[in-house]
Amino acid sequence: MSLKRILLPVAIYCFSAGSLFAEGWIRVNQLGYIPNTTKVAVMIADDTVSPESFQVKALKSGEVVFSGTPRTEDGSVWGMKAAFRLNFSELTQPGSYFIESSGFRSPEFRIDQNVYEGAADFLLNYMRQQRCGYNPFLEDSCHVHDGTIVDHPEKSGAYIDVHGGWHDASDYLQYTNTSANAVFQMLFAYEKNPEAFKDVYGANGNKGPNGRPDVLDEAIWGLEWLMRMNPAPGEMYNQIADDRDHAGYRLPNKDSVDYNVPFGRPVYYVTGERQGLGPHLNRTTGVASTAGKFASAFALASKVLKEENPEWAAEMLQKAKEAMRFGEQFPGAAQTACYVSPYFYEEQNYVDDMELGASALAFSENDSLDKWLKAGDFWGEVEPVTPWIELHGARHYQFYPFVNVGHYLMASQGNEHFKKKYTDFMRKGLLALEKEAASDPFRIGVPFIWCSNNLVTAALTQARLYHEVSGDQQFLEMEAALRDWLFGCNPWGTAMICGFPGVADSPTHPHSAFPLLLQKNTIGGLVDGPVYKTIFESLRGVGLLDDDEYGAFQNGKAVYHDDIGDYSTNEPTMDGTASLVCYLSSMETYNTPELDRDSQGAVVRVNATQPLIYLVFPADEHFEGASLVLDVLDEKDVKGSFFLTGKCLKKRGNRKAIDRIVASSHYLGPHSDDHLLYADWEKRDSLLVAYEEFKIDLKKNLQSIEEKGASMENVRWFLPPYEWYNKDVVAWSRNLGMEVVSFTPGTGTNADYTTPGMANYKTSRELLDQLWRFEEKNGLNGALLLVHPGVHPDRKDKFYNYIGDIIDELRNRGYRFEKL
């Protein structure tokens, strides 16, 4: 019996009509729920129960905060006599809770806007663990001599440098198709939700920030490998090694498998024809599936990395176009190769890959938008719905990737015709999933074939992207069910991500050499997930190494085991994990204000679609106008956002004004402790402080704010001193849980610090005139309007004296005021 089974009792016994003792369980999303989202728990029981109600109770007090009526479902599909859906979506108050009904009690859970904070970054732990070449988890290198070209008409037997990339799963094979999809998904996640990612690790995966978000470090690691696997136009390689790799548990840096090739492991050339070095051949029909995946990854990378590395971005853009031409020349699907047994990734479709490549080029290269949209449409309308969804099944990786992001890209390019066509395609797929889910108490409509959690992730991604592009709310409950499934609202009551923090139960014994040989978990890895019971029972070589802690829940249509011996349900996969990064990053930014950023990544507008203005008041040594400003804000019933340095906060003469800021619930945030200059005035990307110095300074500033009585739960925004910073500072701030803000460029009021002796001196009248001109031309929706509440004594014309007039005029122009 495992320790986890002892620590996590899964049942409560109760008396009910129909049986003396019924055993039942209430399954919830153990991570928690965002307030304004669908919230449904599922209760299952092994005997007949007839609950009339359920109660959500506060964790500490036990007070009932919500009561609802269970909805009866068919529990037999999961081997249960009874099942109920418990909808408590109306409960939106943040807090910690549990659910009770019929004497059964759920695990505790939270309702909070930030329940998914850090979730996307957490998955990257597994991606770093999967690295080939230098592996930061092992602090060692593996497979550095890869490899020997095979199946090439002229180069077979020659050496090719293809070190790097990621191992595909718990084996050490490497595939272009899964790796290219992983690269695309991580780049796509960053492009959509950059604020979700921090910079804690370096490019080599070791601890220590490098000024670049970790998700980009990981994507670049994969991109560099893809470049090696596509060294020239029309020359592509599809995989490293083959199923001879399946030779038992061993660490990658101690890999002893002999492939009988002169250099490292075999590297399979993309032939476009049936392929295999042993007695078994795959069913390859062309190259377009691989070429399209190369194209999509390279195209999106060229956009995301253009500013950081324009030369490399231009090279990748060219390679994306070359890959598309190669795919057009040789349509068809390229499958992986096998040697020992007829086991391979049986990809059959390729039009989705070509659509994604073309639509990614349209997204990345505005100069040829119409050309690439036309090409994307040519391929996209051939396959309106990913086939596994309509067929409710597939052979192994037969239809891959499992979600067609190309439909979303086609729908979001600003062309109304394409938007309608491709949102309709996405909707059709979701309708098919919804139909399958209708009879399942957990509302899961994916087939339980191998990698079912990858299908759950795909369905989640399609549901979220569809909602974003269409605004249609029909599938939000199904999306919630799919999301909750991965975090414990499933028959087994376990999250499906190894070692995930904040949940009561998650995989601790995945099928991998790491826990067996090193007693270390594959942290962050999304496991394969449940398979149909019929599939599991037909497998060879699978055997549980421990007691089945989920034995009571294995009598339904699918089974799952947290056991090293079960390679069918409990093996983490690199591509599934990378794909989930995108969805979880969307959850981290769910319902947060729309943010406009400057070239360095700082927020310069918030909710730019709304007539909202945020008054920002930064101060260091000069604070003489604070009382006047606070008097005006009180009179006008306006909340402001004050950013004060440690020096300002500690100055005895400022105490009364600071106490008023806190007591009146204005925002009080950091402006650095010692008002340091972080970046060179002339060369902005040159840092003048090191990360440790920055961290110490900011933490001192935050400590001073806390000492003044401000609620630290609300201290999220940071205004750097001098309003001068660079991308490194923005990334460092995010590491410490802070988001950098600055004034909205062009408003001009930030120049109110200037004195008559300065070349850039502006009178208050000039500043007001500039502000009104800017508003008339550009509008001030979501603007951060900066006014210093104290300036140098040499400036007698104090701009803060006009703050009341500014508020009145902007209100007359239809604006409202909010604090950050």
| Whether 419 and 515 share a structural domain | yes
CATH code assigned at 279 = 1.50.10.10
The residue-averaged pLDDT of 128-137 equals 97
DSSP secondary-structure letter at 605? E
Please tell me the distance from the alpha carbon of residue 560 to that of residue 563, in angstroms, as a whole number: 9
The residue-averaged pLDDT of 755-762 equals 94
Q: Which of the residue ranges 127-136, 348-357, 590-599, 655-664 would you say has the lowest mean pLDDT?
A: 590-599
| Whether 560 and 611 share a structural domain | no
| Whether 415 and 486 share a structural domain | yes
Q: Output the average pLDDT for the chain.
A: 93
Please tell me the distance from the alpha carbon of residue 289 to that of residue 328, in angstroms, as a whole number: 10
Q: Is 85 helix (H, G, I), strand (E, B) or coil?
A: strand
pLDDT at 1: 31
pLDDT at 707: 93
318-345: b or e for each residue (b if 16 or more CB lie within 10 Å)? ebbbbbbebbbebbbbbbbbbbeeeebb
| Whether 300 and 380 share a structural domain | yes
Whose tokens are 């919230």? That residue is 39
CATH code assigned at 34 = 2.60.40.10
Q: Is 660 helix (H, G, I), strand (E, B) or coil?
A: helix
Q: Is the pLDDT of residue 200 over 90?
A: yes
Q: Is the pLDDT of residue 219 over 70?
A: yes
Q: Is the pLDDT of residue 61 over 60?
A: yes
Q: Is the pLDDT of residue 504 over 90?
A: yes
Q: How many helices (H) and strands (E) does the chain have?
A: 23, 27
Tokens linked to 452: 């079912």
pLDDT category at 11 given cuts 50, 70, 90 is very low
Q: Is the pLDDT of residue 17 over 50?
A: no
Instruction: Report DSSP letters for 21-68, one per residue.
Output: EEEEEEE--SS-B-TTS--EEEEEESS----S-EEEEETTT--EEEEE
| Whether 283 and 226 share a structural domain | yes
Beta-bridged to residue 282, according to DSSP, are none
Torsions phi, psi for 406 (to 5 deg) = -55, -35
| Whether 195 and 91 share a structural domain | no
DSSP secondary-structure letter at 525? P
CATH code assigned at 612 = 3.20.20.370
Please state, as a whole number, how many other Cβ atoms lie within 10 Å of the Cβ of residue 604: 21
| Whether 79 and 149 share a structural domain | no
Torsions phi, psi for 660 (to 5 deg) = -65, -40
Nearest by Cα to 507 from 170, 77, 35: 170
Beta-sheet pairing, 667-670 with 641-644? parallel
Q: Is the pLDDT of residue 737 over 90?
A: no
The residue-averaged pLDDT of 42-66 equals 95
> Considering its fold, how many domains does the chain have in total?
3
Cα-to-chain-centroid distance, residue 666? 32
Residue 55, domain extent? 3-111
pLDDT at 736: 86
Question: Residue 597 is inside which H or E element, if any?
Answer: strand 595-597
Whether 246 and 567 have beta carbons less than 8 Å apart is answered as no
DSSP secondary-structure letter at 209? -
* CA-based torsion, 204, 209, 214, 216: positive or negative: negative
| Whether 504 and 376 share a structural domain | yes
- The residue out of 57, 86, 111 marking a domain boundary is 111
The residue-averaged pLDDT of 135-139 equals 96
pLDDT at 4: 47
Tokens linked to 9: 């009792």
Q: Which of the residue ranges 516-530, 595-609, 788-802 would you say has the lowest mean pLDDT?
A: 595-609
* Between 180 and 8, the higher pLDDT residue: 180
| Whether 565 and 600 share a structural domain | no
Q: What share of the chain is helix, strand, coil (3-state, %, to 5)?
A: 40, 15, 45
Beta-sheet pairing, 816-817 with 612-619? parallel
Q: Is the pLDDT of residue 7 over 60?
A: no
Beta-bridged to residue 743, according to DSSP, are none
- The residue out of 59, 82, 111 marking a domain boundary is 111
For the packed helices 691-707 and 727-735, what is the interaxial angle rounded to 10 degrees?
A: 50
Whether 724 and 681 have beta carbons less than 8 Å apart is answered as yes
pLDDT at 21: 56
| Whether 574 and 641 share a structural domain | no
Q: Is the pLDDT of residue 19 over 60?
A: no
Please state, as a whole number, how many other Cβ atoms lie within 10 Å of the Cβ of residue 744: 28
Cα-to-chain-centroid distance, residue 16? 44
The residue-averaged pLDDT of 698-727 equals 91
Q: For the CA atoms of 798, 799, 804, 809, what is the dihedral angle to 10 degrees?
A: 150
Q: Exposed, middle or buried, 113 (CB in 10 Å: 0-12/13-18/19+)? A: middle
Torsions phi, psi for 224 (to 5 deg) = -60, -40
The residue-averaged pLDDT of 768-776 equals 96
- The residue out of 527, 561, 588 marking a domain boundary is 588
Measured CA distances, 603 to 718, 725, 736, 738 (Å): 10, 12, 16, 11
Q: Whole-prediction pTM value?
A: 0.85
272-309: b or e for each residue (b if 16 or more CB lie within 10 Å)? beebbbeebbbebbbbbbbbbbbbbbbbbbbbbbbeee
Q: Which of the residue ranges 44-53, 505-514, 595-604 would you say has the lowest mean pLDDT?
A: 595-604
pLDDT category at 541 given cuts 50, 70, 90 is confident
Please tell me the distance from the alpha carbon of residue 564 to that of residue 571, in angstroms, as a whole number: 8
The residue-averaged pLDDT of 129-140 equals 97
Q: Is the pLDDT of residue 411 over 80?
A: yes
- The beta strands (E) that lie in 215-318 are given as 237-240, 266-269
Determine what percent of the chain is predicted with pLDDT higher than 90.
Answer: 89
Torsions phi, psi for 610 (to 5 deg) = -115, 150
Beta-sheet pairing, 667-670 with 95-101? unpaired
* CA-angle at 104, arms to 102 and 110, nearest 5°: 120
Please tell me the distance from the alpha carbon of residue 519 to that of residue 508, in angstroms, as a whole number: 10
Please tell me the distance from the alpha carbon of residue 457 to that of residue 584, in angstroms, as a whole number: 10
Please tell me the distance from the alpha carbon of residue 252 to that of residue 255, in angstroms, as a whole number: 5
| Whether 505 and 541 share a structural domain | yes
CA atoms within 13 A on the CB side of 795: 24
Please tell me the distance from the alpha carbon of residue 667 to that of residue 706, in angstroms, as a whole number: 12
| Whether 783 and 798 share a structural domain | yes
One-letter amino acid of 808:
D
